[in-house]
Amino acid sequence: MANSTSARIARDRGVSGFVAFLASLPALAAVVGLIYVGYKVIADQGEDLSADGGYLLIALLGLFAFLFFIVARWTYDAVQAGLTPQRVQAMWLRRFQSESGDAFRTSRVVDRLSRHGVSALTLQDRDVQLSFEQRRNRLAPMFWLLFLPIAGAIVYFVYQGWLGAQADIMDMPRAETLQQGIGQVFGAFFALIAIAAILIVGVFLGVMGAFVIVMLLAAISGPIGAMASRNRDDFKSLPRLLERLRRGKGRRGASIVRISDANWREAVTSSLGAVDVAIIDLTNVSENVAWEIGEAVKGVSPSGLVFICCEGSQLSNEARAAVRGALGREPSNVVYYPAKRSGDTKRFARALRAQIYDAADLRGAMKS
């Protein structure tokens, strides 16, 4: 349907994708320029690449191009996720699920739903981190904030060196002999080459430095945040977050809220009243999960439920009984995720999004 949730989000992604492409153009232009320079080096030197350090130069150009490609993709993903309106608010009920060892990380798929117009909320009682991809996207602006001043300073100092070299060349005493004149020309030429080399090396080191700093911050922010919030309880701040979700102003990426056991049931009930869809894992259904299923039916109606389960695991009798008790029927359209991290993540992500969009459409039809 033209006005379905999936169609609206597809139009949103078209606009945000175009803007994200424009934002990533500087890095892409650098990639194309470096590839062209590499091509010219190979074409000009031919079989003499090893004679003048050509292989080393090609390797540096290739590394530099790869680095800028990563930055381009990184910028594209971050801008698109930030500009895509969050049309659907989903709650992932996974408090009693674990992703330790080689188990598939469903959290990484849920965390990336913001790229596709779905803002996710989950309540936790254990150390939980945003996926590395999401932390990286949130730090993407920091890369440009670090890189642009570094690159600007390098260009400024190199430009000043260039002007100084020109001034020195112009102020050279007049050569008295042809041999002195030739020496001065060659000296000036090599000085300009040295300045150009310093520019290339400086920009490369600037990009590498900014890239490493931001990636390290992305890598350590999750563990540090988990340790700092070990005893934190977000129950008091939950109403403000739910109000932002109701207004479609949720974070880009999964909002992970730490809730203590004492406030868990009240937090689940209030959160379900603020979202459109509830995602429930039926792999291991306990008494607490069965209670969550019942509350989800009240909060988002049967139409707003999306069930997921681990591949290779048949729905247990407890899962069937819990769903039957809440809905009066067996669970249908269950989305299965891989058992291992090496499984087909993209297939699961596509199927999960399709079920979320369908559930949002059904709920919209019921509301109208």
3-state helix, strand, coil in the chain (%, to 5): 65, 10, 25
Handedness of CA 234, 235, 236, 237 (dihedral sign): positive
Angle of helix 54-83 versus helix 140-170 axis, rounded to 10: 140
Angle of helix 287-300 versus helix 317-327 axis, rounded to 10: 30
- Structure token pair of residue 58: 């090609």
Q: Which of these, 222, 260, 259, 253, lies nearest to 238 by C-alpha position?
A: 259
> For the chain, how long is the longest CA-to-CA vector?
104
- Structure token pair of residue 280: 């429930």
User: Tell me, what's the pLDDT at 125?
Assistant: 60
Q: Are 281 and 309 in contact (CB under 8 A)?
A: yes
User: Tell me, what's the pLDDT at 367?
Assistant: 56
User: Tell me, what's the pLDDT at 247?
Assistant: 73
What is the block-wise mean pLDDT of the chain (368 residues), using blocks of 10 residues?
Answer: 83 94 92 89 72 75 85 86 88 71 83 87 67 65 75 75 70 68 71 73 71 71 64 80 74 75 90 92 89 94 94 85 90 90 92 95 71
Q: How do 335-337 and 255-258 pair as beta strands?
A: unpaired
Could you tell me which residues come within 8 angstroms of residue 276 by beta carbon, excluding any fewer than 6 positions away?
88, 89, 90, 300, 304, 359, 360, 363
Q: Are 94 and 238 in contact (CB under 8 A)?
A: no
Neighbours of 58 (CB within 10 A): 17
> How far apart, in whole angstroms, are the C-alpha atoms of residue 51 and residue 69?
29
> How far apart, in whole angstroms, are the C-alpha atoms of residue 48 and residue 4?
61
Q: Which residue has the tokens 């087909």?
A: 344
CA 121 to chain CA mean position, Å: 17
Could you tell me which residues come within 8 angstroms of residue 349 by beta carbon, excluding any fewer than 6 positions away?
109, 112
- In a 3-state reduction of DSSP, which class is residue 99? coil
User: Tell me, what's the pLDDT at 104?
Assistant: 87
CA 341 to chain CA mean position, Å: 18
One DSSP character per residue, 47-94 reads: GGTTTTTHHHHHHHHHHHHHHHHHHHHHHHHHHHHHHS---EEEEEE-
> How far apart, in whole angstroms, are the C-alpha atoms of residue 29 and residue 40?
16
- Structure token pair of residue 229: 């919030």
User: Tell me, what's the pLDDT at 307?
Assistant: 95
- Residue 353, burial from CB neighbour count under 10 angstroms (0-12, 13-18, 19+): buried
CB-side neighbour CA atoms (13 Å) of 264: 15
